[in-house]
Structure 1
Amino acid sequence: VIRPRLYFGKIILYSNLLKKWLGYIDKLILFPFQLQKAASWADVVHICDHGNAIYTKYLQKIPHLVTCHDLFAIRAGLGEFPEHKTGWTGKKLQQMMLKGLNQAQMVVCVSEQTKNDLLRLSSLSENKISVIPMGLNYPYAPMQTTEIKERLASLGIPANSNFILHVGANHWYKNRIGVLSIFYELILRLQQANFYLVMVGKPFTDEMHQLIKKYNMTEKVIELVAVDNENLQALYSSATALLFPSLHEGFGWPIIEAQACGCAVFTSNRPPMNIVGGEAAIYIDPKNPQAAAEKIIYYLPNLENFKTKSLINSQIFRTEKMILEYIDIYQKIL
């Protein structure tokens, strides 16, 4: 595995903007020499993230493929999300990325949704695009009750409480404001004292803090940052349900992580979430907090029925299956 080495990018500077531009020297000027030297002995070069598709122009005489997770940045650069502007530098980088994808020998998308976006935005023919769903990157499974209690206590989760779980970063399409709005509608209707929302991911934004304060949910919303896999497994294994109302996703990893732990999932009735979740998930409108809350409440008494379904569905996304499918692609492009 190789990645751009930091030379200029590690220079200590007070200006983040200048540091970013120096980092481009490492990535765009110096790294291609490192890549070409390393690739000279390789049978296949696998660019594991579409953000590095800019390097395909250096691999035209070497069998190679790119894994494409999503095209949100490229779509934003093209103006498909008017409310989320992309700066001049970002647009140029996205143009380079799309050009790199167009020059790829093979592109593997993590979902049919990503493939459809790629076919629409690129000049690639369909025979140059495959779909291989993501596999779990950690052996998630239901955790024993004793270990769960110890780990929840260490995370500051109140004993004997019920909680809705959300896992995700602060990107706009993760809809964390929507998560808070849905939870507010839930507590209005349920009126349960020992009922919480646990949000795992990046630190809350100012907008999130303001909404929590506005809805008087300071004592009901628990913020967890930098949670490791073992503690996340404990959360998945004990949560009432995962709430994952994303507006867009390339795949939606938390869905299968939760299901592998036997956790019920409420997620958006949009692709790829409603493909990844299969028949084991319950689907909601991510932009209608009231209707989402009502649907969650309707299913709460019967969530145990989704445990077995969740475990079965998660088996579709075994890591071993993903690896074998990639090996098949490697053999095809040699």
Structure 2
Amino acid sequence: MLWSMHIVFFSHPSFLGSQSMPRFTRMLATGMERHGHLVEVWTPRPRLYRLVPVNLSRWLGYVDQFIIFPIEVRKRLKRCSPDTLFVFTDNGLGPWVPLVAKRHHVIHCHDFLAQLSALGKIPVNQVSWTGRLYQAYIRWGYTRGSHFISVSHETRKELHKLLKKLPVFSEVVYNGLNGNFRTQDVIEARAKLGDLTGLDLTNGYILHVGGNEWYKNRQGVLEIYNAWRKLSRKQLPLLLIGNAPSLHLIKAHSESPFKNDMHWLSNINDDSLQKAYAGAEVLLFPSIAEGFGWPIAEAMACGCPVITTRKAPMTEVAGEAGFFIPIYPTEEGGIAHWSLEAANVVEEVLSLSPDNRERQIQLGLRNARRFDQEQTITHIEKIYTSIVAPHISQNYSIPINAES
């Protein structure tokens, strides 16, 4: 390590229940500490949030974030040296960017799906007038920034469309795998996951990992599974790991003739998730949109073949190791054809010979190495250094994991 920086990470408040963004912040913070840098994490505290009933807490949470916290930040800035680097771990933290826009800063961009929805560019995801105002406030903030790191080329493309002018710096660094995702003994992984869930997983299963957000397309997962069961002689169960299903998903589940083989698994810890990947016959990930698509890389790192949507950034992450299906249709009349086409891809993957399956697994393992966490941290460190001390970074050569 040639240059020790003082890095302040701005992070989403944990009291709002977000898991992925605080986890991303921890990955960055611990990585930079490991490299010898002085690190602080600044995040709002729930001063008012916990004082009222749940139905009002959201609004007082906004007061904590956008009125009280900025006052605290202005006070803290007085003790920060001019060469401090301020890092926003998500573009959703845009309202805080103007506080340090004239100082060294960089904004990590994950996705702009909420932004595009608020602008009416994603008709399937309607946004209320208050949501549109909130997203406009976020956009007002991050457009004051000048340095950006995007998790995919697709995210960077959307960023440049939303900015008023081209930024001073904008580069892509793919996410690094945040956890011990690796191959395991398949039989053992299935047995342990079966013990945990009370299910017979001896012969394998089809896996989906994701939440109830519209773009995760859990509805499409159920439709593909229904279509596959109708055409196949195989009878593998479907495991859906993530949040408890929404009401419309519960209804779709209850109407399926194969509902007894569909299983929702919530509150699964990291170790069990890794076993779920390792024991699955295939990960079914038909997302409509993503900023990156963590489960694709995680599954491949665990030796699990992946079926995903033929659309960036899913194609970026899966590379040549993925099996691809068309994007979910916007017309209701096209869903049956889409689900049948996808079901045939599921059958293709499940019918691979042992040798061909092993070749596909090896392709996935090689692809997953692009998302090595230490390589990601080192690449990001180089960018941070180039912002604070360009003369230092000129001779600081490292391998990188994505084209700029």
Q: TM-score, normalised by structure 2?
A: 0.79
1:151 aligns with 2:193: yes
When structure 1 is superposed on structure 2, of 132-141 and 204-213 the one drifting more is: 204-213
Aligned with residue 41 of structure 1, among 80, 85, 88: 80
Sort the Cα spacing of 1:247 and 1:323 in 2 relative to 1 into closer, same or farther, 3 A.
same
Query: Which residue is 1:297 aligned to?
Result: 347
1:106 aligns with 2:144: no
Aligned partners of 1:245 and 1:10: how far apart in 2?
37
Aligned with residue 58 of structure 2, among 17, 20, 23: 20
Within-5 A mapping of 1:36-115 = 36-39=74-77, 40-41=79-80, 43-115=84-156
State the AA in 1 paired with 2:227.
Answer: E
SS of residue paired to 2:284: strand
Aligned partners of 1:317 and 1:84: how far apart in 2?
30
When structure 1 is superposed on structure 2, of 251-260 and 183-192 the one drifting more is: 183-192
Query: Which residue is 1:326 aligned to?
Result: 380
For each residue in 1:204-223, what CA deviation from the matched residue of structure 2 results, as whole angstroms up to 9, or x when unmatched?
11211211222222211011
Aligned partners of 1:150 and 1:253: how far apart in 2?
23
When structure 1 is superposed on structure 2, of 274-283 and 293-302 the one drifting more is: 293-302
- Cα RMSD for the two superposed structures: 1.5
When structure 1 is superposed on structure 2, of 322-331 and 173-182 the one drifting more is: 322-331
Within-5 A mapping of 1:1-334 = 1-13=41-53, 16=55, 18-39=56-77, 40-41=79-80, 43-125=84-166, 127-144=168-185, 145-146=187-188, 148-193=190-235, 195-287=236-328, 288-302=338-352, 303-334=357-388
Aligned partners of 1:161 and 1:205: how far apart in 2?
29
Q: Give the unaligned 5+ runs of structure 1.
A: none
Aligned partners of 2:228 and 2:190: how far apart in 1?
25
Aligned partners of 1:36 and 1:244: how far apart in 2?
43
SS of residue paired to 2:303: coil
Contact 1:199 1:222 in 2 (8 A): yes
How far does residue 56 in structure 1 lie from its aligned partner after superposition?
0.8
Contact 1:153 1:159 in 2 (8 A): no
SS of residue paired to 2:73: helix
Contact 1:178 1:286 in 2 (8 A): no
Which runs of structure 1 show a deviation greater than 4 angstroms over 4 or more consecutive aligned residues? none
Contact 2:181 2:274 in 1 (8 A): yes
How far does residue 47 in structure 1 lie from its aligned partner after superposition?
0.7
Aligned partners of 1:277 and 1:127: how far apart in 2?
30
Aligned partners of 2:73 and 2:165: how far apart in 1?
24
Contact 1:67 1:108 in 2 (8 A): yes
Sort the Cα spacing of 1:323 and 1:38 in 2 relative to 1 into closer, same or farther, 3 A.
farther
How far does residue 82 in structure 1 lie from its aligned partner after superposition?
2.3
SS of residue paired to 2:205: strand
How far does residue 304 in structure 1 lie from its aligned partner after superposition?
3.0
State the AA in 2 paired with 1:181.
Answer: E
The count of corresponding residues between Structure 1 and Structure 2 is 331
Contact 1:198 1:222 in 2 (8 A): yes
Aligned partners of 1:199 and 1:120: how far apart in 2?
34
How far does residue 324 in structure 1 lie from its aligned partner after superposition?
1.0
How far does residue 318 in structure 1 lie from its aligned partner after superposition?
0.5
Sort the Cα spacing of 1:304 and 1:185 in 2 relative to 1 into closer, same or farther, 3 A.
farther
SS of residue paired to 1:166: strand
Contact 1:115 1:131 in 2 (8 A): yes
How far does residue 192 in structure 1 lie from its aligned partner after superposition?
2.7
Contact 2:309 2:327 in 1 (8 A): yes
How far does residue 286 in structure 1 lie from its aligned partner after superposition?
3.6
State the AA in 1 paired with 2:369.
Answer: Q
State the AA in 1 paired with 2:193.
Answer: R
State the AA in 2 paired with 1:4.
Answer: P
How far does residue 126 in structure 1 lie from its aligned partner after superposition?
5.1
How far does residue 153 in structure 1 lie from its aligned partner after superposition?
1.6
Contact 1:68 1:109 in 2 (8 A): yes
Contact 1:260 1:311 in 2 (8 A): yes
When structure 1 is superposed on structure 2, of 66-75 and 215-224 the one drifting more is: 215-224
Sort the Cα spacing of 1:315 and 1:106 in 2 relative to 1 into closer, same or farther, 3 A.
same
Aligned partners of 2:315 and 2:123: how far apart in 1?
25
How far does residue 151 in structure 1 lie from its aligned partner after superposition?
3.1
Q: Give the unaligned 5+ runs of structure 2.
A: 1-40, 329-337, 389-404
Aligned partners of 2:167 and 2:45: how far apart in 1?
34
When structure 1 is superposed on structure 2, of 102-111 and 39-48 the one drifting more is: 39-48
Contact 1:286 1:292 in 2 (8 A): no
How far does residue 107 in structure 1 lie from its aligned partner after superposition?
1.2
Q: TM-score, normalised by structure 1?
A: 0.95
SS of residue paired to 1:157: coil
When structure 1 is superposed on structure 2, of 321-330 and 178-187 the one drifting more is: 321-330
